[in-house]
Structure 1
Amino acid sequence: MIQQNASLNMQPDQHNYSPPLSSVLNLKENEEDKRQNLNDISIKQDSQLNSFLSAQNAEETQKKIDDISKQIDQMYEVLPPVTNFFKFCFMMFGILAFAGWNAVITAFDYFSVRYPKETIPDVTFYFPFGVMVGDLLSGVTFVAQAKYFSVKSRFMYTVTVEVIVIISLCIVAMCYNNINGFWISMVLLFIDGWADNVKTNTFVVIAGSVHPQLNNLFWTYTAFSGLIMNALRFIVLGIFGDDLDSNANYGTLLYFIACAIIFIIAIICFAIFIKSNYYKTSLQIDALKQQKIQLEKELYFIKNQTEQISSTIQHKGISKMFWAAINYLKEFIFITKHTGFLSLYLFISFFETFLLFPGVCVFRKPEFKFLEFAWAAQVMMTAFNLGDFIGKYIGYIKQLHRLYWIYGLVILRISFVPIFILMALNEGSSILQNDYFIMCMIFLFSITNGFITTSLTHLSPRKITDPYIRDKVNFFSNFTMTLGIDLGIVLAIFLSNALPNYS
């Protein structure tokens, strides 16, 4: 009996028994691992099936691409020839692309006197900031605007807005040369930045759909725009003078009206061009090209489908935000792999330019001795625009497209920063205050800017044949340029606060 009780006591209580917690967790983990492995096996099996189907899809897609290529070749055969009038149109489009901003910046000698920096924020630093904010907002909403407004509508309303803005800026400066007038001008410049961005992007779309000869004319004459504004300003100063009397005010108003006439001429050219058979045929060709690019992108994804599936398996379970950050890093590495550090050097070059021009290198010079302020400022602005124009022209010479040479120029341009800052501080040797020396420095500063911009933007996508990769590279290059401009403008404001004001 005792033995029986003992044996009963030695048997475990089946009702009260529970396995250890670690065993339960291990069982659950094993079940989850098995389930995960089954899912991965299922995905891999699906990928094998998809790889077979993707091979068929790749053949079909390639066939469609070849058919579209034949259609494009046929369309080129019926494309009307490029006439001198079309060339003139794209010269005007290039001039008009940045005419609004160039008209304002060329008249900085007038605005800086109407809004004295001793009592009002320095317009040579703050006016670009107003344009930048409008430009950024417009860039963010451009896709939506392009969706709801046609090319013709976008062009017409933005050009009309710019004409009203540039004339209003002059009238406000004439009537309200105080802090209230300054802030009204900032609002107008915000509107101008928004309109200018939409108009420029519209021109870029048009220029990208036509013959490369017309496209090159467009981009070349964007640099010529500033020189035309300089010429108009010189004429007005020669006739009306630069004293702050009624004649100078009305002379500046006449200058902006002359700028508006350039806008009107461009509007007429635009209205005639978009009705031409050349433009209509070019649009059809461009539509086929876009369709071809889309198919080539699909082909790219089809060929890389296996890698995408394996990537999905490997990174399953990682948080979306973390994986998104990894994707951005991979995009940067991907683009850098194909272009090197071209985009980085584009960013540095534009940052250098807009940090110093025009506020520091022109309008913070303590004193001009060879000419009166208004004339001297125009000479310096002309030196910059001329150098930029020449630099962009030189940038088309392929024999000069050597990366080590271009990268070296970008690094050497950093030396302009201490030169212009010492000039603004009225320190250093007498050479740094010499008007002709500074004019030469501005010319060199601008010619390197034009050359670097043209060279790097042409080098970025030149050796890339895959349209998907080329689009990514172009987008990233434009992004870095815009970032360099914006950061340069913002930091220039902080720099202006650190530099002395000279009356």
Structure 2
Amino acid sequence: MTELVNIQTSQNHLPKQPQEEEDYEKLPPITLFHKITFALLGICSLTGWNSILNAFDFFQDKFPKHDYVDVAFYFPIPIMCSNFLVGITLTLIGNNIPFEKRIPFALRGAVLTIIFICLIGIYLKQTQAGIALVFIVLIFQGIFDSLMINSAVALSGATQSGVLISIFWNFTALSGIIMNVLRFIAFGAFGLQDLDNGTCLYFAVATLFYLVGSILGPAPFFIFTNYVQTFMLFPGVSVFQKPSYTLIQNPFVLVFMCTIYNLGDLTVARNQGSQAMQNDLFQFFFLYIFASMDGLITSILMTVAPQRATNSKDRNFISYVNMFSLTFGISVGSFMALILVDE
């Protein structure tokens, strides 16, 4: 991590240049180590959210909807709210805590939240104390996730390397697919009758990614509006609102739908319309297209916007504002999704 930070800080020791050339001196060469590190940072950036997302069936089983809350609609809210709060203070945090301390701290904190939320679901199921603790842990999960991804985005932008930025965002999208595959493996290894052990294994692998990672212009507005739309419809409406699936049974279909979303991010509407449009294949296809556009908009804006800056301080600031717009959009979208809940 220190070597990566040196890519940015080494620029500060170069001779002063005219304003238009400032901070665009030749950087140290990008090595395989840098690429692997940014790939790991990309995977870790959304591991916590994706692991919880794919385990919604587990948490809904532990805290039934009719007695507690609809997990699909309410679990994202504390995460996104804490993301929003961290985003507000991120510039202050970034000015006082360096990358090499901030990122490992966030990764290790996320390890604890993933472990705690799994244990709470198993040992405090169907209790008011259990659901309250889950929401508290989700708040901390959002804090650590926001610190992690915001710092990683700023660090990737500071390198001025299109290769590293591309690697980071590609592996961020790949993070979801990895967690989808792990969830399928847990289903296959333990079956649907042993969700506790299967989910424990699944979350254990998620924490492993965190542990490995800890060792080693108009852009904000468009990012904000993009994620308002995204999280109004995903996952609550586009995945969980359909009454039943026929081609693939629950809970496999829930993970399958999330896999489709992540595939679209890497490379629907409410439950109405004609009978033909209720076919499972339409639902799968629409979600893929929906996620494809989301991933395209995000990757373009996150890559291009920091390049407008002429110094590292401005690049960091642009990256922070972009990520704040993203997380704020997710928060607003998650809240607005509540108006679409099918009571």
The verdict on how the C-alpha distance between 1:67 and 1:431 changes in structure 2, with shifts beyond 3 A counting, is closer
**What does residue 257 of structure 2 align with?**
380
After TM superposition, list the pairs within 5 Å mapping 1:186-205 onto structure 2: 186-205=135-154
1:258 maps to 2:194? no
Report the CA distance between 1:163 and its aligned residue.
0.6
For 1:65, what is the secondary structure of its paired residue? coil
TM-score, structure 2 as length reference: 0.85
The verdict on how the C-alpha distance between 1:67 and 1:348 changes in structure 2, with shifts beyond 3 A counting, is closer
Report the CA distance between 1:457 and its aligned residue.
4.3
**What does residue 180 of structure 1 align with?**
129
CA distance in 1, matches of 2:20, 2:247: 63
**What does residue 5 of structure 2 align with?**
none
The verdict on how the C-alpha distance between 1:158 and 1:471 changes in structure 2, with shifts beyond 3 A counting, is closer
The verdict on how the C-alpha distance between 1:182 and 1:155 changes in structure 2, with shifts beyond 3 A counting, is same
Q: What letter corresponds to residue 151 of structure 2 in structure 1?
A: T
CA distance in 2, matches of 1:436, 1:477: 34
After TM superposition, list the pairs within 5 Å mapping 1:69-468 onto structure 2: 73=25, 76=27, 79=28, 81-178=29-126, 179-210=128-159, 211-243=161-193, 247-269=194-216, 339=218, 344-390=221-267, 416=268, 420-421=269-270, 423=271, 427-458=272-303
The verdict on how the C-alpha distance between 1:159 and 1:483 changes in structure 2, with shifts beyond 3 A counting, is closer
Structure 1 residues without counterparts, runs of 5 or longer: 1-62, 270-334, 391-415
Report the CA distance between 1:429 and its aligned residue.
2.5
Q: Does the 8 A contact of 1:125 with 1:489 survive in 2? A: yes
**What does residue 326 of structure 2 align with?**
481
Q: Percent identity?
A: 31
Q: What letter corresponds to residue 263 of structure 1 in structure 2?
A: Y
Q: Does the 8 A contact of 2:87 with 2:320 survive in 1? A: no
For 2:176, what is the secondary structure of its paired residue? helix
For 1:369, what is the secondary structure of its paired residue? coil
Report the CA distance between 1:221 and its aligned residue.
1.0
For 2:72, what is the secondary structure of its paired residue? helix
For 2:17, what is the secondary structure of its paired residue? helix
CA distance in 1, matches of 2:278, 2:236: 16
The verdict on how the C-alpha distance between 1:494 and 1:183 changes in structure 2, with shifts beyond 3 A counting, is farther
Q: What letter corresponds to residue 328 of structure 2 in structure 1?
A: L
Report the CA distance between 1:476 and its aligned residue.
5.8
The verdict on how the C-alpha distance between 1:429 and 1:351 changes in structure 2, with shifts beyond 3 A counting, is same
CA distance in 1, matches of 2:92, 2:240: 38
CA distance in 2, matches of 1:358, 1:203: 25
**What does residue 272 of structure 1 align with?**
none
The verdict on how the C-alpha distance between 1:471 and 1:197 changes in structure 2, with shifts beyond 3 A counting, is closer
CA distance in 2, matches of 1:131, 1:356: 17
Q: How many residue pairs get matched?
A: 326
CA distance in 2, matches of 1:163, 1:102: 14
CA distance in 1, matches of 2:51, 2:100: 23
CA distance in 1, matches of 2:303, 2:211: 32
**What does residue 491 of structure 1 align with?**
336
The verdict on how the C-alpha distance between 1:138 and 1:456 changes in structure 2, with shifts beyond 3 A counting, is closer
Q: Does the 8 A contact of 1:223 with 1:385 survive in 2? A: yes
Report the CA distance between 1:473 and its aligned residue.
6.9
CA distance in 2, matches of 1:183, 1:350: 27
Higher helix share: 1
Report the CA distance between 1:158 and its aligned residue.
1.6
Q: Does the 8 A contact of 1:110 with 1:374 survive in 2? A: no
CA distance in 2, matches of 1:233, 1:365: 21
**What does residue 4 of structure 2 align with?**
none
Q: What letter corresponds to residue 223 of structure 1 in structure 2?
A: A
TM-score, structure 1 as length reference: 0.59
Report the CA distance between 1:477 and its aligned residue.
4.8
The verdict on how the C-alpha distance between 1:180 and 1:494 changes in structure 2, with shifts beyond 3 A counting, is farther
The verdict on how the C-alpha distance between 1:477 and 1:208 changes in structure 2, with shifts beyond 3 A counting, is closer
Report the CA distance between 1:175 and its aligned residue.
1.4
Q: Give 1 or 2 for the bigger CA radius of gyration.
A: 1
Report the CA distance between 1:435 and its aligned residue.
1.6
Query: Alpha carbon RMSD of aligned pairs, Å?
Result: 2.8
Q: What letter corresponds to residue 208 of structure 2 in structure 1?
A: I
Give a deviation string over 1:231-268, Cα, whole Å, max 9, x none.
Answer: 1111101111123xxx3201100110011111222223
CA distance in 1, matches of 2:302, 2:335: 24
Give a deviation string over 1:162-184, Cα, whole Å, max 9, x none.
Answer: 11111111111111222331211
Q: What letter corresponds to residue 143 of structure 1 in structure 2?
A: T
The verdict on how the C-alpha distance between 1:475 and 1:159 changes in structure 2, with shifts beyond 3 A counting, is closer
Q: What letter corresponds to residue 66 of structure 1 in structure 2?
A: P
